[in-house]
Chains A and B, each alone.
Chain A
Amino acid sequence: MKLSMGPQHPVTSHFRFILDVDGDAVLNFEWDVGYTHRGIEKIAENRIYVQNIPVVERINSYCDSIGTTLGYVEVVEELMDIQIPDRAKYLRVIAAELNRIASHLYAVSLVGISAGFETMLMWTINDRELILDLLVKLSGQRITYTYPTIGGVRWDMPDGFKEEALERLGYLEKRLEDYYRMMAWNRTFQMRFKNVGILKSSDAVGLGIVGPNLRASGVKVDVRKDEPYEVYDRFDFEVPTGKNGDSFDRASMRLKEIEQSIVILRQALKDIPNGPIKCSPKGSKVPPTAPRGEAYSRVESARGEFGYYLVSDGKSKPYRLKISTPSFRNLPALPFLCRNIPLGDIPVIFITFDYIPLDVDR
């Protein structure tokens, strides 16, 4: 029986799965995406560089917009050869890590609900609000911050931000224990997530999986370590990896990464230097055009690696902006894993990969 799951379905968001179902077993899985396709790559060719920041932000607006805009800003800065002040770099890291925490909490909440575990959903969403509050203080927005800009960041830290952030991070660290217990001590949770959707490391690399999903399979790949952008090389943090690559590993990977984000944030908040937050207008001014050439920037967003490939023809608008998004790169995993599994595992595997339809469709 062909079962069309989505695009209006409690769990698939704006995706549609075309499933071959036999009784309660799924024989074949096929994607149908594109319900939120906006043609951002084409729109970007018709806007000047600065205008494109909020445009690309819409790729991944409701979860990890700092990671998204950061990649774009970096690729433009690389092409224009702009050096940004240290304080701006630190602020970018702080914003990106806060956003990563918020995004991962969101992901964990969805993990809970994928098996009908409402308590997990509510608790994590509740605590995500604390982080969003911090980001509101930093940027003025809850979801779409447009915080990094070409040549720096838009706003400086407000007074008292540091203390409040540290306090909330301390609270969150305590709560992480609870979340971890919710996963690891709950037998039913383990029954649903352990040994479900096992992605071996060789398969994960071959299929081009990125981000926490790849790390859950035991491959230690993190752009923050491999190719440190901003000031990530100045921080001392670990890249957590999983063992089995099953859904449980993917779910708990998010909690481990939140832990590391807290570690980074503590260091960043401690070390942040004083100084300007943008290239000063007098000194190195941000040019309106980028020189002819190309650049590829990689940024570790919450869902994985963002790749921005920018080709410039020397005019004020990008000639071509290719955006390689983490969810799009994770797409091949599901058809690979969802063969001959019970129907009940579909939401579990799907949610632990943390797809975002906006991200896939662009």
Chain B
Amino acid sequence: MLGLSFVELIELFIKVLIFPGTLFSLLFSIIVIWFERKFLARMHLRIGPLHVGPFNRLGLFQPIADFLKLVQKEIITPSKANNFLYRLMPMLAAFLSALSIAFIPYALDPSGGYWVIFYTPLSLLVILVILTAKPFIMVGAGWAANNKYCTIGALRAAFQLLAYEIPIVLSLVGIVIVARSFDLAKIVEAQSSVWLIILQPIGFIVILIGMMAELLRRPFDIPLAEQEVVFGWPTEYTGVQFALVMVSEYFDLCVTASLITILFLGGWSGPAIPLLHDISPMLSGIFWFLLKMAVITVIIIMGRGVFPRLRIDQLLESGWTILIPFAIIQILITLATAQWWLPLIGG
């Protein structure tokens, strides 16, 4: 099968089913949902989820209970909706979001190569392509639901996502110049001596803001603005379809956090953790990766407690007039100064 040996097959199964595949991404979603609720509750001076699950007053299993509730619910399709598209889009959203995870290397494989489901030297480009497909899902779902709020939300999402892809791609240019590769693994290796966040702070900020906009997190959750368009493009979804939309959102968060970790925080590089390193050097790498991911996730989540929502025109304006110029400045700085610090990172 696929010309793989038995050991490789087992390894593939572990990658797909456990880490970084299904189990990890679902666990990540559940933990992040729980953490987000609890964390925001503390920011709000509330208690948050309380009763469900073990450990008194933690409410650990609240997301699971919510998910079970959503699964049990009836799927309601609006009578005037385009049935096929309406049902397809949540699945497609979850699928596409999950797909990106396949291309992200999470650690060095002890037997050589990288711990990634599908290795390709063009992984950064592939992820960008998948990212670009997201507005189409939103527009499709918003249009198919045949609801005015959905349509407005979908169009807002399209504007926002398309506008913020440009600064992201422009900032990636700087990274690719440094790493001289579209391979995420190579980008990590290029940071073995110094992280890119130190060399390209402007690019980091641009990408962080741009990614928050891509994820529709709080200051940029305009397409989902509850007070304006109820819930934007997924307004009409119920039950398991809504669960899929939510899951896709948190898969995206997982991908984004991983991506930023790889691009700017040196991925799995870090000092060896004694106990984990003894078992396998890979575990140590995974530990560092997850730690950095967690930091990025918290920063992204924190926006919800700190900022009010922007308006769509303000968002687009700041996207075009602030982020893009800064991204270009970063490229110019990179080009102008590359000769001094490229040797630094072994380029």
Contacts and interface: CB of A to CB of B under 8 A. Distances in A.
A and B touch in the complex (CB under 8 A): yes
Interface of A: 1, 3, 9-11, 21, 23-24, 112-123, 126, 186, 188-189, 191-192, 342-347
A343 B152 CA distance: 10
A122 B41 CA distance: 9
User: Of A117, A123, A344, which is in contact with the most chain B CB atoms at under 10 Å from its CB?
Assistant: A344
B206 to A, nearest CB: 18
Nearest to A126: B45
A179 B309 CA distance: 17
Contacts of A119: 43-44, 305-306
Contacts of B225: 116, 344
Given A3-B148, A24-B156, A113-B227, A188 B308 contact: yes
A118 B225 CA distance: 12
B226 A344 contact: no
Interface in B122-177: 148, 152, 155-156
Contacts of B45: 122-123, 126
A117 B307 contact: yes
B221 interface: yes
Nearest to B313: A342
Interface string B19-59: 00000000000000000000010011110000000000000
A347 B311 CA distance: 11
Contact of B152 (A10, A24, A113, A191): A24
A118 B44 contact: yes
A123 B309 CA distance: 18
Contacts of B310: 188, 191-192
A119 B307 CA distance: 9
Contacts of A120: 308
A118 B227 contact: no
Interface in B193-233: 218-219, 221-222, 225-230
Interface in B302-337: 304-314
Contacts of B152: 3, 21, 24, 343
Given A11-B227, A342-B313, A345-B311, A118 B148 contact: no
B306 A347 contact: no
A344 B40 contact: no
Given A24-B152, A24-B156, A118-B40, A186 B308 contact: yes
A114 B40 contact: no
Chain B facing A: main interface SS: helix
Given A113-B227, A344-B311, 7 more contacts: A23-B155, A116-B225, A117-B309, A119-B43, A191-B311, A191-B314, A192-B309
A10 B235 CA distance: 12
Contacts of A24: 152, 155-156, 312-313
A112 B309 CA distance: 10
A345 B229 CA distance: 12
A189 B313 contact: no
18 contacts: A3-B152, A21-B148, A113-B227, A116-B221, A117-B308, A118-B40, A118-B44, A119-B43, A119-B44, A121-B44, A122-B46, A123-B44, A123-B45, A188-B308, A342-B313, A343-B229, A344-B228, A344-B309
Interface of B: 40, 43-46, 148, 152, 155-156, 218-219, 221-222, 225-230, 304-314
Contact of A10 (B218, B226, B312): B226
Nearest to B224: A116
A24 B312 CA distance: 8
Nearest to A10: B226
B311 A116 contact: no
B313 A116 contact: no
A346 B307 CA distance: 19
A24 B155 CA distance: 9
Given A10-B230, A191-B314, A344 B308 contact: no
B312 A344 contact: yes
B227 A347 contact: yes
A173 B227 CA distance: 30
A116 B227 contact: yes
A116 B44 contact: no
B219 A188 contact: yes
A116 B40 contact: no
Given A3-B148, A119-B43, A347-B228, A342 B304 contact: no
Contact of A114 (B43, B227, B305, B312): B227
A9 B311 contact: no
Contacts of A115: 227, 308-309
A86 B347 CA distance: 86
Nearest to A118: B44
A121 B228 CA distance: 17
Nearest to B46: A122
A116 B218 contact: yes
A192 B225 CA distance: 14
User: Of A3, A112, A115, which is in contact with the most chain B CB atoms at under 10 Å from its CB?
Assistant: A115
A294 to B, nearest CB: 43
Contact of B44 (A9, A122, A186, A347): A122
Contacts of B156: 24
B148 A1 contact: yes
A355 B13 CA distance: 59
Nearest to A1: B148
User: Of B225, B305, B308, which is in contact with the most chain A CB atoms at under 10 Å from its CB?
Assistant: B308
A116 B230 contact: no
A75 to B, nearest CB: 37
A88 B271 CA distance: 73
A21 B149 CA distance: 11
A117 B155 CA distance: 23
Contacts of A123: 44-45
